[in-house]
Chains A and B, each alone.
Chain A
Amino acid sequence: EPEVTQTPSHQVTQMGQEVILRCVPISNHLYFYWYRQILGQKVEFLVSFYNNEISEKSEIFDDQFSVERPDGSNFTLKIRSTKLEDSAMYFCASSAYRDTEAFFGQGTRLTVV
């Protein structure tokens, strides 16, 4: 069964460093998303991406964040200068169409120290 894969599964970084979280969406999907879940809190929407541009973003997704689809298969989330409060589980998801099921990856646990 096709699945969304994320790498790495766990990343530890120092405050102020840049991190790139990687995702390979399901191959025929057109819509891509990032969500995050701070420990003990809700899963929160960050951004959606379609046709090589951001289609929607939340207030969490500030100038420190960026997304890219560099090569037609990977979908990346970059955090430019990490803060302690960026520590969370980050989930990538993809869907075939705008109003169809979103499939989630297993997540990347980011720990900022």
Chain B
Amino acid sequence: GENVEQHPSTLSVQEGDSAVIKCTYSDSASNYFPWYKQELGKGPQLIIDIRSNVGEKKDQRIAVTLNKTAKHFSLHITETQPEDSAVYFCAASIRYSGAGSYQLTFGKGTKLSVIP
């Protein structure tokens, strides 16, 4: 089955700096890669996702890149703010309209701390 590895497990950055979190996956059939943010006491919340037909996607200060050949994808947060402090999870899945797997395979999570 799919295996997702995520690094680093903890990351501290100064406010305003960039943060990068990296994930690798094992199943070349995976084609959907979401990123979730989990704040204390809350469930994971989707912040951005990417499908394998694109190499990069951006939404304001957040961007995700995908390298299908190397089977890795990364989350980039620019101009970090204290409210970005949370645990971030990457995940992988096989998704096709009307087919594929339901399950998301998660990475172990990265605890991001943004220091004011």
Chain A interface (Cβ < 8 Å from any Cβ of B): 4, 6, 31, 33, 35, 41-45, 48, 55-56, 58, 91, 93, 98-99, 101-107
Contact = CB atoms under 8 A, between A and B. Distances in A.
Contacts, number: 62
A56 B95 CA distance: 14
A31 B108 CA distance: 24
A88 to B, nearest CB: 13
B101 A42 contact: no
B29 to A, nearest CB: 15
Nearest to A40: B108
A42 B45 CA distance: 16
16 contacts: A44-B106, A45-B102, A56-B102, A93-B43, A98-B95, A98-B100, A98-B102, A99-B32, A99-B95, A99-B96, A99-B98, A101-B46, A106-B41, A106-B42, A106-B43, A107-B43
A91 B45 CA distance: 12
Interface of B: 4, 32, 34, 36, 41-46, 49, 89, 91, 95-109
The residue among A44, A93, A104 with the most chain B CB atoms within 10 A of its own CB is A104
Given A104-B45, A106-B41, A99 B100 contact: yes
